[in-house]
């Protein structure tokens, strides 16, 4: 099967190889084709199904294959068929990328690039039926399908009541009835060899019960490898043990309730994880731990695991620049997430009935404290978010008041700190909010690797657009000789004495020139808008920087 998106497409710009796990990048959309424009269109009553019938069709792969043109594009995802003809112009990845799935079952293509997107909600108004293997649909229906793809308006809620599709690899999908904001879904991969299968045991004393998992996983990060939630008034434990490649879900309907706090101990050398739960009724002896869910302790790959969401509350909001704020969110006491360096979470918002998710990198509360990582204690999350005019999720977050709640996912990301081993120079190229993944990476390098010298080249429009400008300068004074920052402005005023312009091949050569002698001891990371990442990716290749010495942050 061909790669989706194609290797040279805008959605893969900056990827070091076709196997890169980077996410898709956006391409510029025509005016009137923003996400909010699409939301409004789906609510307008206009017929987006385009089949001249309000009923759901049963569509064979043969019939689906006929609808593979720009003016007539159908697509199947997880067993359901959508008429995406109208949506093509609204697709953030561009028309050509979406057309790669037209006329076919695009489930695998979708899972590769858009796994985190709630397509059922986004394309609900375009749902026309189920994909089936069988005889073609009848001639009467065929004649209707040959008509214009946008006929007279039909009932826009014709698809309501139809059960939504599930990913074909899912063995269990459930919703916690007592906590409707927490979605529970795990995927099960191919059978794991017996010697590699994780196992669990449990024990208790007067005060607590402990669930112990022998994960058989290597490279477990002691702080961040466990994501957990205690649900149903302390009667259910849901957790995930994570490394960069694998996920072990733990799901136990507890025989007795526990308090809403848990502690985690990790022995990374042997892959042992202990989750200690405080008994709600001390001194009471449990006959057993409880009932295990179907997916309990069954190892899956990260790419096939499905995000769980839980509520988090806005505690504080601080204006950092004229359009960028630092948001302090806090999980409930019954949830625990420590996001690793270079990883992001997804915030989920319901906009006019459509569920929309967006990735945001987790930063620290500041960059000048002695130990900024201390603020990320499992309950507290900080995000540096720029509000875009017309932005669906950023506008929603910008309007949040202290005490308001939004849903947040578990974390994901492709950066592995082991890339820093043996490095003596780390060059960070950031444009605008592409600075966010660099925040913790800078601090991690400076605090954990005494031999690493870090240089940040920071691209913005004007001085008022630079977040934490003074704090970055303070950091250079704190780490003299180990950290430098240079600002480049594209719309600087006449008083600006620093660099001007945008990233170019010539500029990148000049930036890297002082580090050219370090070769394999150098790591170059970059993040920013599509045009920035495209030019940076091509320029690094032309300069001859090896792919193993490059890491793009794309989401």
258 Cβ contact partners less than 8 Å away, ≥ 6 residues apart: 209, 230, 234, 235, 237, 277, 278, 279, 280
pLDDT at 188 (0 to 100): 45
Burial of 490 (0-12, 13-18, 19+ CB in 10 A): middle
Are 382 and 363 in contact by the 8 Å Cβ rule? The answer is yes
> What domain range is 358 assigned to?
309-409
pLDDT at 167 (0 to 100): 32
Torsion of CA 472, 439, 114, 328, to 10 degrees: -100
Distance in angstroms (rounded) separating the CA atoms of residues 289 and 212: 11
Closest CA to 415 of 431, 394, 439: 439
> Do 128 and 46 lie in a common domain?
yes
* Mean pLDDT, residues 349-361 taken together: 87
> Do 211 and 321 lie in a common domain?
no
Task: Please tell me which residue, 489 or 37, carries the higher pLDDT value.
Answer: 489
> Do 431 and 546 lie in a common domain?
yes
> Do 294 and 398 lie in a common domain?
no
> Do 271 and 317 lie in a common domain?
no
pLDDT at 111 (0 to 100): 74
Per-residue burial over 353-384, b if 16 or more Cβ lie within 10 Å, else e, is: ebbbbbbbbbbbbebeeeebbeebebbbbbbb
> Do 283 and 398 lie in a common domain?
no
Q: If residue 22 lies in a helix (H) or strand (E), which one and from where to where? A: none
pLDDT at 194 (0 to 100): 53
Tally of helices (H runs) and strands (E runs) in the chain: 11, 29
Instruction: Report the share of the chain in percent with pLDDT over 70.
Output: 83
| pLDDT, tens digit (0-9, with 9 covering 90-100), for 106-160 | 888 887 776 667 788 888 889 999 998 644 444 444 344 333 232 222 333 322 2
> Do 90 and 210 lie in a common domain?
no
| pLDDT, tens digit (0-9, with 9 covering 90-100), for 85-102 | 999 998 888 899 899 999
pLDDT at 369 (0 to 100): 82
Domain boundary, last residue among 383, 409, 435: 409
Report in angstroms the alpha-carbon separations of 301 from 172, 244, 306, 462, 553: 16, 9, 10, 43, 21
> Do 432 and 548 lie in a common domain?
yes
Distance in angstroms (rounded) separating the CA atoms of residues 373 and 226: 17
Strand partners, 526: 429, 552
pLDDT band at 169 (very low <50, low <70, confident <90, very high): very low
DSSP codes of every residue in 74-129: EEEETTEEEE-TTGGGG-TT-HHHHHTTTTSB-HHHHHHHHTTS-HHHHTGGGEEE
Task: Please tell me which residue, 487 or 53, carries the higher pLDDT value.
Answer: 487
Look at residue 28 and tell me if it is in a domain.
yes
Domain boundary, last residue among 359, 385, 409: 409
Look at residue 73 and tell me if it is in a domain.
yes
Half-sphere exposure of residue 259: CA atoms within 13 angstroms, side-chain side? 15
Closest CA to 80 of 52, 100, 46, 110: 110
Look at residue 178 and tell me if it is in a domain.
no
pLDDT band at 27 (very low <50, low <70, confident <90, very high): low
- pTM to 2 decimals? 0.75
Closest CA to 418 of 518, 342, 526, 359: 342
Look at residue 320 and tell me if it is in a domain.
yes
Look at residue 163 and tell me if it is in a domain.
no
pLDDT at 305 (0 to 100): 81
26 Cβ contact partners less than 8 Å away, ≥ 6 residues apart: 92, 93, 530
Task: Please tell me which residue, 459 or 22, carries the higher pLDDT value.
Answer: 459
pLDDT at 28 (0 to 100): 67
Q: If residue 499 lies in a helix (H) or strand (E), which one and from where to where? A: strand 499-500
């Amino acid at each position: 099967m061909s790669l989706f998106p194609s290797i040279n497409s805008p959605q893969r710009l900056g990827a070091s190889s076709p196997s890169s796990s980077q996410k898709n990048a956006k391409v510029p959309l025509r005016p009137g084709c923003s996400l909010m424009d699409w939301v409004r269109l789906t609510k307008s009553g206009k017929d987006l199904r385009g089949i001249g019938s309000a009923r759901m069709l049963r569509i064979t792969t043969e019939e689906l294959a006929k609808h593979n043109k720009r003016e007539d594009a159908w697509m199947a995802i997880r067993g359901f068929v959508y008429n995406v003809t109208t949506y093509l112009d609204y697709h953030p990845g561009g028309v050509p990328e979406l057309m790669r799935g037209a006329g076919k079952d695009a489930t695998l293509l979708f899972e590769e690039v858009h796994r985190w997107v709630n397509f059922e909600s986004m394309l609900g108004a375009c749902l026309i039926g189920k994909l089936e293997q069988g005889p073609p649909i009848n001639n009467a229906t065929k004649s209707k399908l040959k008509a214009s793809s946008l006929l007279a308006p039909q009932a826009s809620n014709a698809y309501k009541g139809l059960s939504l599709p599930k990913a074909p690899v899912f063995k269990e999908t459930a919703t916690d009835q007592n906590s409707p904001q927490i979605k529970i879904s795990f995927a099960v991969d191919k059978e794991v060899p017996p010697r590699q299968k994780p196992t669990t045991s449990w024990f208790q004393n007067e005060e607590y019960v402990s669930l112990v998992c022998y994960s058989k996983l290597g490279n477990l990060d002691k702080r961040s490898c466990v994501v957990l939630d205690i649900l149903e008034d302390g009667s259910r434990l849901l957790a995930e043990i994570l490394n960069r490649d694998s996920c072990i879900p733990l799901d136990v309907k507890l025989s007795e309730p526990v308090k809403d706090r848990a502690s985690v101990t990790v022995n990374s050398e042997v892959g042992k994880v202990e989750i200690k739960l405080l008994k709600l009724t001390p001194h009471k002896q449990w006959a057993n731990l409880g009932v295990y869910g179907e997916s309990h302790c069954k190892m899956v790959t990260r790419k096939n695991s499905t995000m769980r969401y839980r509520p988090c509350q806005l505690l504080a909001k601080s204006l950092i620049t004229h359009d960028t704020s630092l948001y302090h969110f806090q999980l409930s006491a019954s949830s625990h997430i420590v996001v690793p360096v270079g990883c992001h979470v997804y915030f989920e918002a319901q906009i006019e009935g459509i569920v929309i998710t967006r990735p945001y990198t987790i930063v620290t509360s500041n960059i000048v404290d002695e130990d900024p990582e201390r603020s990320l204690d499992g309950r507290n999350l900080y995000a540096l978010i720029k509000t875009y005019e017309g932005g669906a999720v950023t506008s929603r977050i910008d309007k949040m008041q202290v005490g308001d709640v939004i849903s947040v996912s578990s974390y994901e990301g492709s950066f592995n700190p082991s890339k820093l081993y043996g490095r003596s120079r780390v060059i960070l190229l950031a444009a605008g909010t592409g600075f966010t993944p660099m925040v913790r990476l800078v601090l991690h390098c400076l605090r954990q690797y005494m031999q690493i010298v870090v240089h940040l080249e920071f691209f913005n429009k004007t001085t008022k657009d630079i977040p934490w400008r003074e704090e970055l300068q303070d950091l250079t004074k704190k780490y003299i000789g180990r950290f430098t920052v240079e600002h480049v402005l594209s719309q600087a005023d006449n008083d600006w004495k620093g660099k001007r312009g945008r990233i170019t091949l010539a500029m990148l050569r000049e930036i890297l020139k002082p580090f050219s002698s370090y070769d394999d001891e150098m790591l170059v990371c970059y993040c920013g808008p599509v045009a920035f990442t495209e030019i940076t990716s091509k320029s690094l290749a032309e300069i001859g920087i090896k792919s193993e010495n490059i890491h793009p942050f794309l989401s």
